[in-house]
Chain A
């Protein structure tokens, strides 16, 4: 029952504390704010309480509740950070909720803030909704449940109930389609995120196939829940039974329809393994190329290694381990099976015993481990995916871009080495690397960058990353203190011999400054720009260090990516195509520098930027020091100055710039 007296009392307390806060001088403000926030925290776990605070949000904002915090300026907020903050409990979650209420007030025209329009606020809120569907639908992910208390969950859910009431969900549908496209177009190895969104939409939003937007969402849904007409109203077991009555022609048609569904977004349904296994077991191997959607080249490879791959399929693939079919199909396309070393490696993998700790990590990374499926099966499946989709490897929520970059690179250029590494790591929970003629053993060195691994990763990554991360860190330690960026030595040692000897860095350790940026860019263009490097293409991925900047262009930190190729895009603009292991499709690096993940000539998994914009964010890369020097002079000064301007006006503001010429 609604208790009027109690409620009045609560509001009165708010008023009192609000008054104390408003009257405090700068000296005791933080203390008064803490108390006020404590009161707000208690109030906002009910709709009435939240609404009351919403009515007061203008006053709170004016009184300076956001002052001196990262929430002070709404135009500096980042929608993708909201989720993490909401999970970080009071007081962060409380001020985050206040921030959302303020945005809602701005969007509804109840409040005005300079430099931030109602439209801006609305866009922001929609992005927040899309990134927080777990709260919108009150279906927190398992890890969310673990880190958040009842009260915190109630608070956040109350907020999103309130927001969804005040915002039109139709617009969110559009964002959902966009979000799903952004994710799927990258063909990530880990597909949990898009599956979760699709599942939530299926459960919570009524879709009308006659509406364009809805039919788009339905298309995503069908990939997972009813990939072919024959799967309608059947679960995969019933589907299996029904296959017996299919004629050869029907099986062929079914195979084609099934693979088409898979290829549209790179998502595999539970029906797909049933069909694939049925075809193999019942003597229809000739239909497998149709069922996997293979090209002629892929079909030829299938025919060559039919027996071996059939064995792999039967031992690995299962309705609860289905997604790897897409990876397998891509492996067949890329020709990786033609390598003897790869086949041997995969054959070896089938025989290993997985170390209990690795097994634990693998099962932890599997959202809903199924009792019939072994950790080895999951690991094999993940291996198919990583080998088939090298550009889909991600780092999850871990600061391990280096490790992810390595896995991706080996998957493309040293797949057998990668398989062998996985085999060793999975068996012994340990790895060794060579560094400058010395051995580094993961188990014998100190901590890596990541202390608590986020397990939203594929099984290959959870197997390797904890060790790779330690080895990388140890290499960095051993190479530090040499007055140059340690990556000069660490990159070749970690990634392998195809990393070029030459290493260019814009940052100078001796001067603690950016030195000879012009020369640096000259070398970069001489290395990769087809106009100035003799029309050459890049051969191996180039590990590049970049400055990450905020949407305002402010320096945020460092990041490791791989430059894969430089090409003209469909519009004739030279673009850098690169692997960004953080799988984020919605990036804004300020100055209108926005990496895209599709629509500009990207292959699945690539990010891209016009080459000059890319150049304006890099600080280190490798190059062939015998080749580049000659070509440096080809690069026109005008191009360099354009890049320099972008750099100076963004991350460059955080550094001193020196013009001393360096010999490159």
Chain B
């Protein structure tokens, strides 16, 4: 049993889980949260994660965590992955744990690693300016045997180290590169567009083995997903499991949870997109916990503990072959207009039997909507629950286009 989990990042639901599980923990986060922590008796170490210097580094943080007997570090957010990696390197006496953390933080590096290990990935390249992207697209066009007048091949660019869809741009043509790319985007990763349906996996790993595998079906990236996976994806579960274990072995992951994104083509081929090792966005663990009826956040934390016993693992995780009969899905709601005044929940939603709840925030008068950055600024989520995944898909697609804000 871990003596104390160092939770890297501030998350009230995670803290609540730890309290309910009665596990020792200490929260490491920005000084802003210190007051709240004190008020609610939350063990807390304030740390400026965005500062890296002689006085602000993992060795210093290690010292600060000593009084708490911390021996397992858990990254809750993308930005704390290296910090947790560095601390765990020390705790486990294995310098490569840190290197692995770097792997999760560099999308080009992780692709290269996947490629070496025989996973299917798209064509990718590090690019440093617009010209680089254009050249990349040109070579891609050549490889795809483009004929004059045919559309360009689609290219995605992504920052090396951002969470989810932040900074992600889809470029459909040379003109797009000209119009959409900003100076500040570079350097970044350029990659070819992967065909197929996208989904993510949340694999809870202990001792290098997948102990529980959740599959999240993406209905529309950045908008909606549901859990467990629908019938078609479910029929591929064994194949997915195999690829997943390959990924775990290849990356050498022993403890924790990974959240990779995959593409499944019509020919049943799986391509690797990218992988993260923190709490996924889109309320995935919330849905997952509800669908499989377990404390997904608690399990996420506990899996990081090398000393967790088999019994404890069994207790906290659902069985590997569990298949719930209720599907939980959500759709994130974004305003469609540039200026909004009120929130209106449509009658049809109230009467929808799959509708579960929502946490939409009413706007203030004449609220202006800023452009979206990485699907980050949604106004809340609408949750659904029902037993038919096809109906679920239909609903999620439908409500993505319903305007809740006027």
Which residue numbers of A lie inside 8 Å of B, CB to CB?
Answer: 5-6, 9, 13, 17, 24-28, 31, 34-35, 38-39, 41-42, 89-91, 147, 149-152
Please give, as numbers and ranges, the residues of chain B lying within 8 Å of A5 by CB-CB distance: 353
Once the chains bind, are A27 and B344 in contact (CB under 8 Å)? no
Q: Given A6-B351, A28-B13, A38–B362 Cβ distance below 8 Å?
A: no
Question: Could you jot down 23 A-B contacts, CB within 8 Å?
Answer: A5-B353, A6-B351, A6-B353, A13-B356, A24-B16, A25-B16, A27-B12, A27-B13, A27-B15, A28-B12, A28-B13, A28-B16, A31-B13, A35-B357, A35-B358, A35-B359, A38-B358, A42-B345, A42-B350, A90-B362, A149-B343, A151-B344, A152-B342
- Distance from B388 Cβ to chain A, minimum over Cβ atoms (Å): 16
Residue of B nearest to A91 (CB): B362
A25 to B353, CA, bound (A): 29
Residues of A within 8 A of B15 (CB): 27
For residue B357, which residues in chain A have a CB less than 8 angstroms away from its CB?
13, 17, 35, 38-39
Query: Closest residue of chain A to B42, judged by CB?
Result: A27
Q: Tell me which of B16, B343, B351, B353 contacts A89 (CB under 8 A).
A: B343
User: CA–CA, A206 to B365, complex, Å?
Assistant: 39
B38 at interface, CB cutoff 8 A? no
Select from chain B the residue with minimum beta-carbon distance to A5.
Answer: B353
Lowest 6 CB-CB distances: which A-B pairs, in order?
A27-B12, A27-B16, A149-B342, A35-B357, A28-B16, A38-B358
Do B356 and A31 touch (CB < 8 A)? no
| B353: A residues at CB distance < 8 A | 5-6, 9
Are A150 and B358 in touch, CB under 8 angstroms?
no
User: Interface size (B, Cβ < 8 Å)?
Assistant: 22
Contact with A along B59-98 (1 / 0, CB 8 A): 0000000000000000000000000000000000000000
Provide the B359-388 mask, 1 if CB < 8 A to any CB of A, else 0: 110100100000000000000000000000
Given contacts A38-B360, A91-B362, A149-B406, 13 further A-B contacts (CB under 8 A): A17-B357, A25-B20, A26-B40, A27-B12, A27-B16, A28-B13, A35-B358, A38-B358, A42-B345, A42-B350, A89-B362, A147-B365, A150-B344
**A114 → chain B, closest Cβ, in Å?**
26
Question: B238-251 CB contact bits vs A (8 Å, 1 = yes)?
Answer: 00000000000000
Chain B residue nearest to A20 in the complex (CB): B357
- Chain B 166-177 interface 0/1 with A at a Cβ cutoff of 8 Å (1 = within): 000000000000
User: Is the Cβ of A90 less than 8 Å from the Cβ of B343?
Assistant: yes
* Per-position binary interface string of chain B over residues 208-238, scored 1 when its CB falls under 8 Å from any chain A CB and 0 otherwise: 0000000000000000000000000000000
Decide if B40 touches A31 in the complex (CB within 8 Å): no
Residues of A within 8 A of B16 (CB): 24-25, 27-28
Instruction: Give the docked Cα–Cα distance between A35 and B40 (Å).
Output: 22
Q: Establish whether residues A31 and B12, one from each chain, have CB atoms under 8 Å apart when the complex forms.
A: yes
**Does B3 touch A at the CB level, under 8 Å?**
no
Give the complex CA separation of A42 and B360 in angstroms: 12
What's the Cα separation between A31 and B357 when bound, in Å? 12
- A28 contact set on B, CB distance < 8 A: 12-13, 16
User: What residues on A are CB-neighbors of B12 within 8 Å?
Assistant: 27-28, 31
> Is B19 in contact with chain A by the CB < 8 A criterion?
yes
Closest CB of chain B to A346's CB: distance in Å? 40
Beyond A6-B351, A26-B40, whether A31 also contacts B345 by CB under 8 A is: no
Complex: A35 Cα to B406 Cα, angstroms:
21
* Residue of B whose beta carbon sits closest to that of A3: B351
CB contacts (< 8 Å) of A31 on chain B: these are 12-13, 359
- A605 to B19: give the CA distance in the assembly, Å: 61
- Alpha-carbon separation in the docked complex, A150 to B342 (Å): 11
Contacts of A13 in B (CB 8 A): 356-357
Chain B residues within an 8 Å CB radius of A24 = 16
**A270–B50 alpha-carbon span in the complex (Å):** 72
Closest A-chain residue to B20, C-beta based?
A: A25
A34→B359 contact, CB < 8 A: yes
Output the residue of A6, A25, A39 with the most chain B CB within 10 A. Answer: A25
Tell me the complex Cα distance, A9–B356, Å.
Answer: 10
Task: Convert B336-357 into 0s and 1s, putting 1 for each residue whose CB lies closer than 8 angstroms to a CB of A.
Answer: 0000001111000011010011
Q: Which residues of B are found within 8 Å of A25, using beta-carbon distances?
A: 16, 19-20
Chain A residues near B360 (CB-CB < 8 A): 38
Which of B12, B357, B365: most chain A CB closer than 10 A? B357
In the complex, A636 Cα to B351 Cα: how many Å?
Answer: 73
Q: How far is the CA of A19 from the CA of B219 in the complex (A)?
A: 30
CB distance from B85 to the nearest CB of A (A): 27
Closest A residue to B342 using CB positions: A149
For B342, what are the chain A residues with a Cβ–Cβ distance below 8 Å?
89, 149, 152
Contacts of B344 in A (CB 8 A): 149-151
- Which chain B residues border A91 with CB–CB below 8 Å? 362
Inter-chain contact A38/B359, CB cutoff 8 Å: yes
Closest-by-CB residue of B relative to A36 is: B357
Q: How far is the CB of A36 from chain B (nearest CB, A)?
A: 8
Q: Find chain B residues with CB under 8 A from A147 CB.
A: 365
- A151-B351 in contact (CB<8A): no
CA distance A13 to B12 in the complex (A): 24
Cβ distance B350 to chain A, nearest Cβ, rounded Å: 5
Residues of chain B with a CB closer than 8 A to A9's CB? 353
CA of A17 to CA of B383 in the docked complex: distance in angstroms?
12
Which residues of B (83-118) have their CB < 8 Å from a CB of A? Answer: none
Residue contact A27 to B40, C-beta cutoff 8 Å: yes
User: Which residues of A sit under 8 angstroms from B406, Cβ to Cβ?
Assistant: 149
**Assembly CA distance A38 to B383 (angstroms):** 12
Residue of B344, B345, B351, B360 contacting most chain A CB atoms (<10 Å): B345
Chain A neighbourhood of B350, CB < 8 A: 42
Residues of A within 8 A of B40 (CB): 26-27
Query: What residues on B are CB-neighbors of A149 within 8 Å?
Result: 342-344, 406
List, in ascending order, chain A residues with CB within 8 A of B19's CB. 25, 27
Chain A residues, CB < 8 A from B358: 35, 38
Within 8 A of A (CB), among B3-59: 12-13, 15-16, 19-20, 40
